[in-house]
């Protein structure tokens, strides 16, 4: 941590900061520059120290040197983590594909979709039973009935079931039916929920919040890891920017950057990331080329009549083409889908 | 709702959309322009219809005409809502000031602060007992012990206690001690929590998420109102933008815009909105000039030793000066603080 | 254009707007909804009408139906435009690669780089002679001496020379040496410069401004096209968002979106789009997978000693690997690099 | 400048960086932390050094300590700069008001407006003669004829004329008629134009680009100051964010922040900053409360028939009310308008 003093900071102010740094059990190292004095604080453990030093008199700013996340860091664990869940393998060289409708709507819908996505090469089935909706007047999901249909679809196809958990009180119920829990973008910093999913044995797919930095995403993962669940998959699904031709802006540099910083696998959601069906296939292929460990895609037998997200869902034939495209790109780069 | 067809959309595609619109119980009105055909759908009730029509073949885009929020809308209730909570009055002409530390840390800290902010003119006391922290390694709050100290401070000063609720399972406990519940920015779209606080009798201060549009904020409020709790206060606390000289960007046009669209009161949090103590007084005054119904401010007896948010907390003397400044601006505009 | 009246707008206000619309030579079509009245204005020619109607009394908002760009639109010209410039072909199925240093620094540097990028498969050579720099104290380019070195490098290698023009007064000079003009991101809305490059015979590579919508980018292109220069290449180079782990956020959905709306070719600049050498290869491959018609990449013989942008420049071996990767992805999708 | 080495950087890499730092004429100071080594480089003069060091092998990041702007800095000149231009005084305790139409449209329009804004208390008259427009099909201004009308309005009223310069070739012409030059947001980083206006004797109102950081704004000002023109006024006019209820997001914390870092005066443009007439009065008052040294406001005799920006222009009566409101707020804070 580097404490930068203001120009003209007094000797007393510098001494005071040295004292404070030492009182935290850190070593202080004063460097007198031509215009400013800076103090290096050595041995830091926690981000807290930074905040506390920032309000010191005469302090201009405090620059952290160490990343605030620990367990998620590649510095702690060099080999990439592979999450395995039935036939779905994500990370460590394996690319996994999770596909399915935004919401589970009926037995017919989910079974048909499961069969179609499996035939096209997916290993995971997504489908929401508990739906976080922007408006209280929107369809809120089939709840347990939806979970049962997902389990039925798994029986039929062997696909791993991935479904969202919105509240702590639903965790146990959902664990009875699902193979992987999804924490949605809106709940990325719902820390109590993160702790709750950190205490179960199922892998967790953690979506990046639309205003979250990657450091915040890793710290959210850290809440889960810290409770003992090592199987966290990070998911880029787009951020909020000024762009209005897409629903969100999908920043694929997230993929190689995270691969450089963490051992956790990274998947991309081009459906939410673009918000328009016609942009999904190209962005799915681009995600694979960027090095993604998997994709999560919205697929629906009849998007026009979907109860949610129809405008960004692929029809079966479109999903098939998308898979073909992604497979080619993957193979060109020596990876199998 | 206006369905805009693509240039060159066929007669069949237009007819199909008319049929779909009518099957939703709406009236369709076709307008053939020089370059494109548009279809007005009359009688819409829900945002759902929009999404569903967007995936129609030949459709370019669907433009909603009505706002998706209902109960929060000024079109439904013309007079501004005033939230009253002991001596704290917010909205309907009254300006209420809530001040206190980020976290409750000790009896001495909270009692001293309560007395100081009361003396300077605040009517509400803020203080976190359950703290949502970006890092799992940060101080997470004193929990129930903190709530007890807040209640003690209320006994001493008569200030209304405002404190954050992070999880459904804490709602009952917090209601035993608090006068007003705060839903934090990270939980603005934690819908289950919104529903839970919608079922209690305490007013709710709902903070805007850093990536939330004002429409999404109003829809979040609608979740609470919809459960029967009419006392919702909206709080602008800054949004995530590319700016890096402040912690968040504080967009004060939120205040008059919301006043034009909703009857709910609007308060501003210049502490989080700037993230730097030295910017708080001017932005507090600017908030009052923009028409805010109240302020929520971080105040600490010794910011340098605060366990959280010291860098954006006011000392007692600074808070006093801020109140003086705000009072002058308020009085100039015919309002009392 | 759809004029949406406020709830409760009077008959007089509606009549007034109808009159105004008709006075613009448009046809007005009134639709009385259950809650609001909207007026469709048919026959619009210009975005101006929208702005003018917006300030009408009782008007809530005005929704444009037609895109404001004309000549750039795919509705006007269906077949994709291919820009050809010596051996560099961009668009219409061809992928062109432009590579070279941020700034021309010396004969040795530019000749070496030209040979290396040609050997690796590039057809264009980039290199700045006039440099727009954030700080007036930074290296501002070699000016004409730099242009001469670029021309020399072309003689040696046959590569097409692409270089930035910052001011109208330099256009003629640069045209004497270059094969393609680049308009930088900071000048995307320098309309007089756009007009000036619209009057020359060289193709123009137009970079997206970091806060520009794609509609604004197309309107900027329209300034050039409108002056008679049909050879405009659009370049995505990243936008300003809250992300701070990359220099800009590179939104690749730009590529398929623009391909849907315009016949102009689209290239991507992953060097500026990420700002970090180690992220460039993956994002270059992802750009090709997203359908880009070309890439523009910073390459330097010795990035550590580059006079600008060293931190995002590829060494020769890194460029070679990047080309190999992109070629594989391109071939997988049936395209040649 | 602090060079942060990667975890595990070798002794050779550290030595190499020390050598590079010393070869730049700086002193290197190595600090070995528990996890990483950092090197403080003392005596830095230029931002360049930072960029160059960033591409060093084993370097994780380089943290600048000194601000890159010099002449604009409050560290160089403590007393605030006051710009005086006829009766218009901005900065150093004085608040100046510039008002007028977006575009000069006719003698009648500009003379009427000049009289009205003068009567209401403005000291400056704005009005565009050369208009930068997003679309090439929009009204581009009256050019010299407009400048003549502005000069005529000055003769009638004594108001100082403020008008935009878009291109270097127009500088001389505009200087013949204007009292203050405006550099628009789109040209904030048109460095050649900045240099050109740096060489004239008129003060320059420099608008912040919608994606510019405040550091970039100060560096743009530095281009002007550096050419010898000391009279630069900084103008906050809103930034591009995800917000869509306003045309731009107006971040008023800009005002106190800039006052802390620079001696240059800061004015606010609430017309562009909000894009909606009805939000302007409150945001004007808030700007004054935030400490702005002036305002620039769009006023038109008949906004509904304005040739540009009607939707954000105040009518005369609305401007009058806005002035009354701002005057009250200013007086409450001990300032005169």
SS3 category, C160: strand
Among residues B37, B71, B107, B38, the alpha carbon closest in space to that of B223 is found at B71
C-alpha distance from residue A139 to each of A25, A80, B66, D3 (Å): 54, 39, 19, 53
Helix orientation angle between B107-120 and B316-332, rounded to the nearest 10 degrees: 30
Instruction: Write the CB contacts of A119 (distance below 8 Å, at least 6 apart in sequence).
Output: none
Stretches in chain A below the pLDDT threshold 70: 44-48
Q: Are C169 and C177 in contact (CB under 8 A)?
A: no
The mean per-residue pLDDT over the stretch D311-334 comes to: 97
Q: Are D182 and D205 in contact (CB under 8 A)?
A: yes
Distance CA(A329)–CA(A327), nearest Å, equals: 5
Taking the Cβ of residue D57 and every Cβ of chain C, the question of whether any pair is shorter than 8 Å is answered with yes
Distance CA(B182)–CA(B220), nearest Å, equals: 13
CB count in 10 Å sphere of residue D93 = 11
Distance of CA B332 to the CA centre of its chain: 26
The dihedral built from the CA positions of residue C85, C87, C88 and C89, taken in this order, carries a sign that is positive
Q: Note the helical H segments in B143-184.
A: 144-157, 171-177
Q: Which chains touch A (3 or more CB pairs under 8 A)?
A: B, C, D
Q: Are A3 and A31 in contact (CB under 8 A)?
A: no
Q: What are phi and psi of A205, to 5 degrees?
A: -95, 115
pLDDT at position A44 is: 67
Distance CA(D74)–CA(D265), nearest Å, equals: 11
Taking the Cβ of residue C210 and every Cβ of chain D, the question of whether any pair is shorter than 8 Å is answered with yes
Distance of CA B233 to the CA centre of its chain: 6
Taking the Cβ of residue C137 and every Cβ of chain B, the question of whether any pair is shorter than 8 Å is answered with no
Contact D47 C226 (CB under 8 A): no
The mean per-residue pLDDT over the stretch B204-218 comes to: 97
Q: Which chains touch B (3 or more CB pairs under 8 A)?
A: A, C, D
pLDDT at position B303 is: 92
Q: Are D270 and D250 in contact (CB under 8 A)?
A: yes
pLDDT at position B35 is: 81
| Least confident among B326-335, C165-174, D36-45 | D36-45
Distance of residue B80 Cα from the nearest chain A Cα, in angstroms? 23
CB pairs under 8 A between C and D: 137
A contact test, residue of C289, C295, C325 with most A CBs within 10 A? C289
Band (D47; pLDDT cuts 50, 70, 90): low
Cross-strand partners of A63: A2
pLDDT at position C149 is: 98
pLDDT greater than 90 at residue D135: no
The dihedral built from the CA positions of residue A117, A118, A120 and A121, taken in this order, carries a sign that is positive
D contact test, residue of C66, C128, C137, C247 with most D CBs within 10 A? C137
pLDDT at position C58 is: 84
Per the rule left: phi > 0, alpha: psi between -120 and 50, beta: everything else, A93 is left
Taking the Cβ of residue D45 and every Cβ of chain A, the question of whether any pair is shorter than 8 Å is answered with no
pLDDT greater than 60 at residue C46: no
Among residues B46, B267, A216, C243, the alpha carbon closest in space to that of D242 is found at C243
What ipTM does this complex have? 0.94
Q: Are B181 and B165 in contact (CB under 8 A)?
A: yes
Distance from first CA to last CA of chain B, Å, rounded?
A: 43
pLDDT greater than 70 at residue C47: no
> B162-179, pLDDT tens digit by residue?
999 999 999 999 999 999
> C50-104, pLDDT tens digit by residue?
777 887 888 888 888 888 888 999 988 999 999 999 999 999 999 999 999 999 9
Distance of residue D18 Cα from the nearest chain C Cα, in angstroms? 14
B contact test, residue of C27, C65, C261 with most B CBs within 10 A? C65
What is the helix, strand, coil percentage profile of chain C, to 5?
A: 40, 20, 40
The mean per-residue pLDDT over the stretch B266-274 comes to: 98
Rg (CA), chain C: 23
pLDDT at position D162 is: 98
CB pairs under 8 A between B and C: 49
The mean per-residue pLDDT over the stretch D171-183 comes to: 98
Burial D193-204 (b: 16+ CB within 10 A, else e): bbbbbbebebbb
Distance of residue C158 Cα from the nearest chain A Cα, in angstroms? 30
Instruction: Write the CB contacts of A313 (distance below 8 Å, at least 6 apart in sequence).
Output: A101, A102, A271, A277, A298, A299, A300, A303, A306, B55
Instruction: Write the CB contacts of B19 (distance below 8 Å, at least 6 apart in sequence).
Output: none
**Maximum CA pair distance of chain D?**
76
pLDDT at position D45 is: 64
Instruction: Write the CB contacts of A149 (distance below 8 Å, at least 6 apart in sequence).
Output: A104, A106, A107, A110, A111, A127, A142
The mean per-residue pLDDT over the stretch C216-238 comes to: 97
Distance of CA D166 to the CA centre of its chain: 15
> B41-57, pLDDT tens digit by residue?
887 665 567 777 887 88
Distance CA(A198)–CA(D247), nearest Å, equals: 42
Contact D273 B287 (CB under 8 A): no
Q: Which chains touch C (3 or more CB pairs under 8 A)?
A: A, B, D
Q: What are phi and psi of D221, to 5 degrees?
A: -60, -40
Distance CA(C35)–CA(D203), nearest Å, equals: 52
Contact D214 B286 (CB under 8 A): no
Band (C34; pLDDT cuts 50, 70, 90): confident
pLDDT at position B47 is: 58
- When CB atoms are compared, the residue of B214, B244, B332 closest to D213 is B244
Distance from first CA to last CA of chain A, Å, rounded?
A: 43
Q: Are B280 and B248 in contact (CB under 8 A)?
A: no
The mean per-residue pLDDT over the stretch B316-330 comes to: 98
């Amino acid at each position: 941590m580097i404490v930068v003093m203001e120009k003209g900071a007094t000797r007393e102010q510098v001494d005071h900061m040295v004292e404070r740094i030492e009182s935290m059990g850190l070593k202080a190292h004063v460097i007198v520059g031509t215009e400013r004095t800076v103090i290096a604080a050595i041995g830091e453990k926690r981000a807290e120290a930074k905040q506390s030093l920032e309000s010191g008199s005469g302090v201009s700013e405090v620059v952290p040197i160490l990343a605030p996340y620990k367990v998620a860091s590649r510095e702690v664990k060099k080999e990439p983590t592979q999450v395995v869940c039935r036939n779905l393998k994500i990370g460590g060289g394996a690319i996994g594909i999770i596909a399915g409708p935004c919401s589970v709507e009926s037995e017919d819908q989910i079974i048909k979709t499961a069969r179609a996505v499996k035939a096209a090469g997916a290993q995971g089935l997504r489908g929401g039973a508990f739906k976080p909706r922007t408006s209280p007047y929107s369809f809120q999901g089939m709840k347990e009935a939806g979970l049962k249909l997902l389990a039925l679809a798994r029986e039929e196809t062997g696909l791993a079931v991935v479904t969202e958990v919105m509240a702590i009180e639903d965790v146990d119920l959902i664990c009875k039916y699902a193979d992987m829990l999804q924490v949605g973008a809106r709940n990325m910093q719902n820390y109590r929920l993160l702790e709750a999913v950190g205490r179960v044995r199922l892998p967790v797919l953690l979506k990046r919040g639309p205003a979250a930095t990657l450091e915040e995403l890793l710290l959210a993962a850290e809440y889960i890891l810290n409770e003992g669940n090592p199987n966290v998959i990070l998911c880029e699904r787009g951020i909020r920017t000024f762009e209005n031709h897409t629903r969100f802006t999908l920043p694929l540099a997230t993929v190689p950057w995270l691969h450089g910083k963490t051992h956790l696998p990274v998947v991309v959601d081009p459906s939410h990331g673009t918000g328009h069906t016609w942009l999904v296939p190209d962005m799915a292929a681009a995600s694979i080329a960027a090095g993604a460990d998997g994709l999560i895609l919205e697929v629906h037998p009849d998007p026009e009549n979907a109860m949610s997200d129809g405008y960004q869902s692929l029809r079966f034939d479109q999903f098939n083409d998308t898979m073909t495209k992604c497979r080619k790109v993957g193979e060109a780069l020596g990876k199998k889908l």
